[in-house]
């Protein structure tokens, strides 16, 4: 085949089949198209970022985990508000929370480029959680909101059952202590009693912590003045850095293209050439056999036709 002054070699069908087979084997051995053309490092790829899950996993209790209609849940809320005045809004929200039986459990104030920010954490009774959320939404513009619910019925039921059994064991050990007559018996019972009481204290602390989180929900609010979201969007923008990052991306793309071309010349073409040679040799060997077979079959057909005519 001629392209202008150049004359390209023409491959036979067996040679073409050999090229395809060699490339398929090379792809399977190297681990895919990317590894064959770009090497083991793989070429340029976009970074994978971890995304926020957007919530807390919620346990699904079984039928045996709930006693009657009892359901114990821990509710939390995280909000970001944009208000006219940070201190005024804080005073209003604190007053609302206190009127519902809650309190402020912590706060953090900081300033970023002369813009004040305030993060405050409220503890609100579970029965007043929805009312507190409505008050927060009405106070300003909600930039973000996340409400999570986590069921702890199974954990509380299990802890309470363990505590009942341990307290029964404690009562039995105290009864044995009163009946002990020797020092060794007293020491043995005292050792077991100490272990049981230690377990009681541990499980009771876990139960109290979960019960407190169920009874008092947690609401975290970040308060910022109006216009701060625009400042955050433009904060840290540097035209020079953006240009440099774009140039770096262009260089990375060019590097990938160069690596692919090098691998095409050094790796892919030799493999294709070997496949073409192997396919051509195999075709030269098999083609005469096929021709002979066809002639034999043709002779057989002619002989049959001659017999029929007679």
The DSSP code sequence of 5-69 is TEE-----HHHHHHHHHHHHHHHHHHTSHHHHHH-TT-S--PPP-PPP--S-------GGGS-TT
DSSP secondary structure string for all residues of 179-238 = H--SHHHHHHHHHHHHHHHHHHHHHHHHHHHHHHHHHEEEEEEEEEETTHHHHHHHTT--
pLDDT above 70 for 307:
no
- pLDDT tens per residue across span 151-200: 999 999 999 999 999 999 999 999 998 888 889 888 999 999 999 999 99
Count the neighbouring beta carbons within 10 Å of the beta carbon of residue 188. 14
In terms of pTM, does the model score above 0.75? no
| Residue 64 pLDDT | 41
> 3-class DSSP state for residue 246?
helix
Please say whether the dihedral angle defined by the alpha carbons of residues 49, 52, 56 and 58, taken in this order, is positive or negative: negative
Where are the chain's structural domains?
2-44+239-309, 63-166+205-234
* Span 35-76, pLDDT tens digits: 555 555 444 444 434 334 343 333 333 344 445 578 899 999
Q: Determine what percent of the chain is predicted with pLDDT higher than 70.
A: 63
Q: What is the pLDDT of residue 2?
A: 47
Sign of CA dihedral 176, 181, 186, 187: negative
Higher pLDDT, 38 or 116: 116
Token digits of residue 213: 């989180």
Q: Taking residues 274-291, report their average pLDDT.
A: 70
């Amino acid at each position: 085949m001629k392209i202008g002054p150049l004359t390209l070699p023409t491959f036979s069908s067996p040679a073409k089949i050999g090229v395809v087979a060699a490339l398929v084997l090379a792809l399977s051995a190297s681990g895919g198209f990317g590894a064959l053309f770009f090497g083991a490092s793989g070429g340029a790829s976009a970074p994978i970022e971890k995304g926020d899950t957007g919530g807390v996993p919620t346990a699904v209790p079984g039928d045996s985990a709930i006693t009657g209609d009892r359901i114990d849940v821990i509710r939390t809320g995280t909000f970001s508000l944009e208000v006219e005045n940070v201190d005024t809004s804080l005073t209003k929200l604190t007053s609302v929370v206190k009127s519902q039986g809650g309190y402020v459990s912590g706060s953090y104030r900081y300033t970023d480029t002369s813009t004040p920010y305030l993060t405050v954490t409220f503890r609100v009774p579970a029965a007043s959680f929805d009312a507190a959320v409505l008050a927060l939404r009405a106070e300003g513009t909600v930039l973000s909101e996340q409400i999570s619910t986590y069921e702890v019925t199974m954990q509380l039921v299990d802890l309470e059952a363990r505590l009942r059994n341990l307290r029964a064991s404690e009562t039995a050990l105290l009864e044995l202590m009163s009946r002990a007559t020797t020092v060794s018996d007293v020491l043995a019972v005292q050792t077991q009693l100490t272990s049981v009481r230690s377990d009681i204290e541990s499980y009771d602390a876990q139960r109290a912590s979960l019960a407190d989180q169920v009874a008092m929900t947690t609401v975290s609010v970040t308060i910022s003045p109006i216009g701060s979201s625009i400042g955050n969007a433009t904060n840290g923008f540097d035209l020079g850095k953006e240009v440099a990052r774009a140039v770096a991306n262009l260089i990375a793309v060019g590097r990938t293209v160069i690596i692919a071309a090098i691998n095409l010349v050094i790796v892919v073409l030799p493999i294709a050439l070997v496949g073409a040679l192997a396919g051509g040799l195999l075709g030269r060997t098999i083609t005469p056999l096929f021709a002979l077979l066809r002639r034999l079959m043709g002779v057989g057909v002619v002989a049959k036709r001659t017999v029929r005519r007679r």
